[in-house]
Amino acid sequence: MAQNVWFMIKLAWTSGEKKVIALSLLSALTAVVLSLINLYVSPTILSVVERRASVSELIFTILAFVLALMFISAVSAYIYKNTIYGRISVRIELITLLNKKAATTSYPNLFEDKYQKLIAKSQKSINSNHAATEAVWTTLTDITSNTLGFLFYVFLLSSVQPILMLVILTTTIISYYVSYRANEWRYHHREEEAEYEKQIYYLSSQARDLTAAKDIRIFGLRSWIEELYHKTMNAYMAFHQKAQSVYIWAKIADLILSFLRNGVAYAYLIGLVLNNGLSVAEFLLYFSAVGGFTAWVSGILSGFNTLHQQSLDISTVRESLEFDELFKFEEGEPLKAEAERKYEICLENVSFRYPNAEKDTLSNINLRLHPGEKLAVVGLNGAGKTTLIKLICGFLDPTEGRVLLDGKDIRGYNRRDYYIMFSAVFQTFSLLAGTIATNVAQDNLDIDMDRIKECTKKAGLHDKIESLKDGYETYLNRQVFEEAILLSGGETQRLMLARALYKDAPFIVLDEPTAALDPIAESEIYQKYNEMTSGKSSIYISHRLASTRFCDRIILIADGGISEEGTHTELMKRGGKYAELYEVQSKYYKEGGTES
């Protein structure tokens, strides 16, 4: 708990919100002063009346307390208002850090179940003003003010029977322990809760996903998704009902202990009035002080109880931020991509097996991509083509063997630097919620418009863009911009080509980005890529063999390895698996052809 508090204090300090710390302390002090004024106001006025003081003294006393209350209340309100913005800024800093972690973490972590659950739980800790990462400042302020008040009241009540304070402390501590155990139950079941939340989020997002809209309607999936959603939600609600039953019993125990604590205290003070001649003013002071003392002790323990619960949430955020990286980043050897330099990539006895899989997806792969070579990777769906590309691009590390860049194992490099070596278009690609220019440049700050226009001209998309009302400032993605346009499949592919050309990296990778197009359109797009990337090392992936005939070398992936290798002509002459697959597919590649 102390580590998490220190983490938040350091975050406030390093994020430029040091005032949050100072203002929280001032807020605690004003809360104590305000409480003490309220404690003494009635007994003091009553004492003035008992002494039969003059009316002017009485009025002066009342006025002094009123002015003091007004001043301290105004100061407290001012401090609170100024603290809010700093607390929000600290929480936003955490949101930024979590987003950065998600965007830069080692690629395999994105599919790690533990990481996904941590991220889902972390979102709850940062998504509102009441979330733990912001509310913790209120808790720390309350604990500080309660502690200061407690110390003052101990001094004030030092003349009262020590056993009374012992009873108050004992019952309050027991109450705290019961509440603590209830919160522990919730913590130990946090993964179960996170699993339900992940499932609910997935089903909700699928229902809203525009790409699934047609399938939901054509195949009548709505009732099925709703059934799954309701089942998951019912299980989630049952979990919360069980959690609430634990909290209810804790609250009942706290109520009984509070009744016992207050009963003993009030009985003792009444005894002092009857037997020791305690004055009315003193009785009122001690009566209020006992209640205040109880409140301070309860506040301290309740505050620590709340802090403990918030600390668990902050721990989840920290676990997400500190989740182990599988790759080297800043600690790796720096690597600078040189567009004109000729690089060579070599896979040396590479095998890869996905977590919990029974066998390798790829086994003992030996492959060399020569400088400037056009390499085609072909094979049936599920053969492991995309896995091979992920290994080459550094998204995955081999289970066995090495991936080498100019003879050096890529695991030694800063992986972010290594990614810069590639311009890639994958099966699923992203269109940013921004302008066409932003999507080509993948940046919204330092955009070279002349270069963007040159790349779109080469990609055959310039005339289309110029015909639009806003040209290159036309928005894409209607989920964000109502005035956004929708590009056709072919136009989107050309935009991806322009993006790859704009980056101008040493390696070009195309991982079946045209799978949704017809074979002839795919072949035309691949030919366009070939023309525009002349001289660069390129890898083309397709399960349609005719689309990659132009490549310098073709490898056929089958049964977890390289089944055949050579040019298109060589492989056809060989009459092996490649030739067989090509003949089966060839009838679909002939424009205007019919299926026999």
CA pair distance 397, 350, nearest whole angstrom = 9
**Contact 183/309 with Cβ under 8 angstroms?**
yes
CATH of the domain spanning 431-504: 3.40.50.300
Q: At what angle do helices 162-188 and 222-276 cross, to 10 degrees?
A: 170
Kindly state the tokens that stand for 558. Answer: 């089958």
Sign of the torsion formed by the C-alpha atoms of 459, 462, 467 and 472: positive
- What CATH number does domain 2-321 carry, 1.20.1560.10, 3.30.310.160, 2.40.30.10, 3.30.300.10? 1.20.1560.10
Q: What is the per-residue pLDDT for 521?
A: 65
Q: What is the per-residue pLDDT for 594?
A: 42
CA pair distance 443, 464, nearest whole angstrom = 21
Q: What is the per-residue pLDDT for 593?
A: 46
Kindly state the tokens that stand for 200. Answer: 């609910």
Q: What is the per-residue pLDDT for 174?
A: 80
Q: What is the per-residue pLDDT for 243?
A: 82
Domain 343-421+506-589 shares a fold with domain 431-504: yes
CA pair distance 325, 468, nearest whole angstrom = 44
**Residues of the chain with confidence (pLDDT) below 70:** 158-161, 187, 277-280, 283, 287, 339, 513-523, 525, 529, 533, 587-596
Q: What is the per-residue pLDDT for 554?
A: 93
- What CATH number does domain 343-421+506-589 carry, 3.40.50.300, 3.90.226.10, 3.60.20.10, 3.40.50.12590? 3.40.50.300
Q: What is the per-residue pLDDT for 159?
A: 66
Concatenating the DSSP letter of every residue in 99-151 gives: HHHHHHS-GGGGG-HHHHHHHHHHHHTTSSTTSHHHHHHHHHHHHHHHHHHHH
Q: Is 76 helix (H, G, I), strand (E, B) or coil?
A: helix
Q: What is the per-residue pLDDT for 519?
A: 66
| Beta-bridge mates of residue 367 | 347
Domain boundaries, the chain: 2-321, 343-421+506-589, 431-504
Count of CB atoms within 10 A of residue 171's CB? 23
Q: What is the per-residue pLDDT for 327?
A: 92
The closest alpha carbon to 578, from 563, 592, 591, 594, belongs to 563
